[in-house]
């Protein structure tokens, strides 16, 4: 049996805690943990960063860059959950299901865990761009709604402390109206689009869950809704965590509504294609803390160490 030692730098943040929870159930992993009284000891931190087989970085971008600079053990595999390295060509983007990505992940020491929104967007769009159905210069608009846990500890505390009026005001709020969301670089680079999409997410007054959606006009595509559906189905037919739902699937709707929470607590992602009169709507549903963060990190570890990717995630 493969035995892996793991260290989580930033273990008390939202993603770090979720990774800890998953690794606690993993039969192949033992987690190294710095004692509470010594957690700010820089020498001990560097020691742990270098002696683990795999290091999960759950830190802000600059802190992730600093942590990587402290690692001089060539055998240490780093899985970074920040956005610091997601478009760095020396790092491999951590979505194994994307075409040709799994083989690259198995050979690298540096894995950039994807953002939650781009996980949905890239799984929907990348196969369609590669198949030539969606042109690389398509004027892409991406929408999303997410639970407030995606904003980390501060946002979680804010929402949990809301009074009645604040709860009503915060029921659904647009975010990043400067149109410069930090996920834009990977949302353009991974599908190889000519232009970054227009992207404004909505934060809802629920803790976790996510819908990422993309509207397409059929007359601008080189294919139909049926060809989009078949392309996604062919790409992901053998993937344990990706489910391509039936074309125009209404069985999942509750009085016409698609809820964002059905994949919560899992590493699953569901992909939907809806169409009417050349208007096509793509939707990805996932747990922003699962396939959108910690679940993806553990899956990437499994992939890199040649374990069954579902280990510790079912």
Residues marked as catalytic: 116
- The sign one gets for the Cα dihedral 129, 133, 134, 137 is positive
Beta strand 54-57 with 4-9: parallel, antiparallel or unpaired?
parallel
Cα 248-249-254 angle, rounded to 5 deg: 125
Long-range contacts (CB closer than 8 Å, 24 or more residues apart) made by 234-239:
235/97, 235/99, 235/127, 236/97, 236/123, 236/271, 239/97
Which candidate, 274, 294, 293, 290, places its Cα nearest to that of 282?
274
CA distance 274 to 82: 32
Report whether 279 contacts 220 (CB < 8 A).
Answer: no
Helix orientation angle between 295-304 and 14-24, rounded to the nearest 10 degrees: 50
Residues with Cβ within 8 Å of residue 138, at least 6 apart in sequence: 193, 216, 220, 221
- Closest by Cα among 309, 290, 301, 308 to 78: 301
Contact criterion met (CB below 8 Å) for 68 and 266:
no
DSSP 8-state symbol, 52? S
> 3-state class of 74 per DSSP?
coil
């Amino acid at each position: 049996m493969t035995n892996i030692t793991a260290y989580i730098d930033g273990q008390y943040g939202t993603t770090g805690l979720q990774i800890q929870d998953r690794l606690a159930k993993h039969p192949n992993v033992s987690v190294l943990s710095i004692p509470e009284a010594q957690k700010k000891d820089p020498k001990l931190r560097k020691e742990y960063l270098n002696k683990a087989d795999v290091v999960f970085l759950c830190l802000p971008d600059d802190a992730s860059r600093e942590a990587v600079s402290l690692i001089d053990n060539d055998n240490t595999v780093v899985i970074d959950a920040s956005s610091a390295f997601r478009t760095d060509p020396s790092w491999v983007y951590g979505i194994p299901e994307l075409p040709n990505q799994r083989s690259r992940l198995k050979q690298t020491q540096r894995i950039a865990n994807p953002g939650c929104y781009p996980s949905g967007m890239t799984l929907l769009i990348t196969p369609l761009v590669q198949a030539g159905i969606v042109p690389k210069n398509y004027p892409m608009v991406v929408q999303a709604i997410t639970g407030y846990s995606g904003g980390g500890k501060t946002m979680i505390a804010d929402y949990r402390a809301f009074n009645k009026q604040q709860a009503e005001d915060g029921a659904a709020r647009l975010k990043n109206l400067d149109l410069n969301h930090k996920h834009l670089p990977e949302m353009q680079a991974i599908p190889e689009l000519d232009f970054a999409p227009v992207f404004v997410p909505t934060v809802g007054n629920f803790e976790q869950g996510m819908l990422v959606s993309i509207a397409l006009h059929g007359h601008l595509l080189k294919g139909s809704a049926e060809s989009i559906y078949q392309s996604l189905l062919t790409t992901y037919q053998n993937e344990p965590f990706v489910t391509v739902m039936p074309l125009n699937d209404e069985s999942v709707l509750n009085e016409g509504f698609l809820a964002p929470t059905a994949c919560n607590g899992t590493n699953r992602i569901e992909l939907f294609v809806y169409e009417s009169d050349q208007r096509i709507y793509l939707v990805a549903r996932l747990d922003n803390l699962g396939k959108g963060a910690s679940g993806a990190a553990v899956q990437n570890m499994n992939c890199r160490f040649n374990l069954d990717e579902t280990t510790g995630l079912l």
